[in-house]
Structure 1
Amino acid sequence: MSHTKEFTLYTHIGAPNGWKVAFVLNILGRTYESIYLDGNTFKSPEHVKYNPNGRIPTLIDHNNGDLVLWESGAILLYLIDTYDTEHTISVASPREKAVLTQWLFYQTTGQGPYFGQSTWFRHVHHEKIPSAIVRYQNEARRILGVLESVLSKQDYLVGGKVTIADIAFVPYNNVLQRVIDDDFDFKKEFPNTYIWHTKVTAVDGVRKGLEERLRLLAEDEKKARA
């Protein structure tokens, strides 16, 4: 079967991890079709045949024999290794590659799970468990504190420029009030991390993705009110 786009991306409008991939595809100038799943279709046969874990994102590369990849960190590494030959959002030296991978792992195993759990216990869990809410709010602040300690000394995480290591943090840091507290003041509590986040979100491909997310969320809200 022929495809009009280079990639198919199974994702979710509100969930952060799929947007990381969209940002990177945008920056690299690749064409892709996004298939937006919801909580009822993550584990549908149509999706699970590609991703046995039944989560998003799932990426199919039609340029490479319909290669299927899931897990956002693995997808980002594949995209830069395969398509970022100019090192636009990646680095060339083995030393810097190791640092980039370190930060990407920190995002996928630290920021993502802790921010996700904070959001779950604050907004989704069937009962309020104050101790769980406080624990994950504190963990979210700890993650930001680690970033702040580094970004107070340098502009970006590796290579002196925006890379996938920086980009991966954007979708979660973009919803900090939902993660931590409605009155959370990102700029005041973590000023250097806020400046960094602002610079990364201004990158064209990231900005384009964030605008698309807002447009889709607005459409969903309009449908819900209809």
Structure 2
Amino acid sequence: MKPITVWLTPPGPNPWKVVVIIKELGIPFEIHSFKFEDVKKPPFIDINPNGRVPAIVDPNTGLTLWESGAIIQYLIEEYDKEHKLSYDTLREKHLLNQWLHFQMSGQGPYYGQCAWFNVLHTEKIPSAINRYKGEIHRLLGVLNTALTGKIWLVGDKCTFADLAFLPWNEQLQALLDVPREEVLAAYPNVLAWHTRLRERESWGKVLEMREGLMAEQALEWNGMPKGVNNMKEYEELLARGKDA
């Protein structure tokens, strides 16, 4: 099997949803890491006209695909024939897709907006910050209820649905300015679930890869170059580079 190429910029959580599932399934892959300022430029814009990471190129099937949820569904359908991270029964198949859609439509967008308004946006807008912090807590409440009396979201094993939530929940401290364990203390079922996910060997290896790629580009925890605190400063840095 030829390796799948994963195109990504290292800071954001979405690419790592794909990578951790690839690692879990034992699929050969290689990472094409590039800078955030190049997401709207060739060659990446030729792969994903939306200019968002991740995207994959699979030489085994000739398919180029973007949108992390679509990539995950493809990887499961094409490469999880033994159902290591999935089920082949009707009920479980659709419940897994339900949770993946919830992650894509709920967790990702709301956590992302909180990251923008609370971390990256130059102007601090309390109403926006409070709204998206509140949505994070609402979503954690949904997960906490769903996990009552359960180890995993669906069935009796870790699946792609569980793993899809892992990278964004890993960012809770950065988003809310509160230690992750302190945030999750109010959601004990989520805390136990997230702890189980964090302890998986695949995630440890993913974090090592991410840290290496972040260091390679000299990036801070928030994805900005060292010494840059928000998007305005980042844009000014890029402008100075063009003028130099």
Q: Could you tell me the TM-score, scaled by structure 1's length?
A: 0.92
* Alignment partners' CA distance in 1, 2:154 and 2:204: 21
Unaligned runs of 5+ in 2: 227-244
Q: Does 1:6 align with 2:8?
A: no
Equivalent pairs counted in the alignment come to: 221
AA at the equivalent of 2:192: I
- Of the three residues 162, 166, 170, the one matched with 1:174 is 170
Match of 2:61 among 59, 64, 74: 64
Change (3 A) 1:45 1:218: closer
CA deviations on 1:32-90 (whole Å, 9 max, x unpaired) are 1111122211111101111111100001111112x011010110011010000111111
Instruction: Report the equivalent of 2:95.
Output: 99
- Please tell me whether residue 88 in structure 1 is matched to residue 45 in structure 2: no
**What residue is the counterpart of 1:116 in the other structure?**
112
Counterpart Cα distance in 1 of 2:40 and 2:217: 21
Give the CA deviation at 1:189.
1.5
Percent identity between the two aligned chains: 44
Q: Which residue of 1 is the match for residue 194 of structure 2?
A: 197
Does residue 137 (structure 1) correspond to residue 133 (structure 2)? The answer is yes
Query: 1:24, 1:206 within 8 Å by CA — same for their partners in 2?
Result: no
Is the Cα–Cα contact under 8 Å of residues 9 and 34 in structure 1 kept in the other structure? Answer: yes
Distance 1:215 1:192 in 2: 32
Question: Displacement of 1:186 after TM fit?
Answer: 3.1
Counterpart of 2:239 in structure 1 is none
Residue 219 of structure 1 and its aligned partner are, at CA, apart by 4.4
Does the CA contact (< 8 Å) of 1:177 and 1:183 recur in 2? yes
Post-superposition offset of 1:24: 0.9
Gaps of 5+ in 1: none
Match of 1:29 in 2: 26
Q: Does 1:126 align with 2:122?
A: yes
Question: Could you say what secondary structure the match of 2:39 adopts?
Answer: coil
Q: Is the 8 A contact 1:59 1:75 kept in 2?
A: yes
**Distance in 2, Cα, partners of 1:183 & 1:27:** 27
How many angstroms apart in 1 are the aligned matches of 2:194 and 2:74?
24
Structure 1 counterpart of 2:100, one-letter code: L
- Corresponding residue of 1:15: 12
8 Å Cα contact 2:97/2:161 also seen in 1 = yes
2:119–2:175 CA contact under 8 A, matched in 1: no
Runs of 4+ off more than 6 Å: 222-225
Distance 1:216-1:45 versus aligned 2 partners, 3 A rule: closer
Tell me the equivalent position of 2:72.
76
Match of 2:147 in 1: 151
How far, CA to CA, are the matches of 1:188 and 1:54 in structure 2? 37
8 Å contact kept, 2:2–2:60: no
The aligned residue for residue 206 of structure 1 is 203
Question: Retained in 2: the 8 A contact 1:9–1:59?
Answer: yes
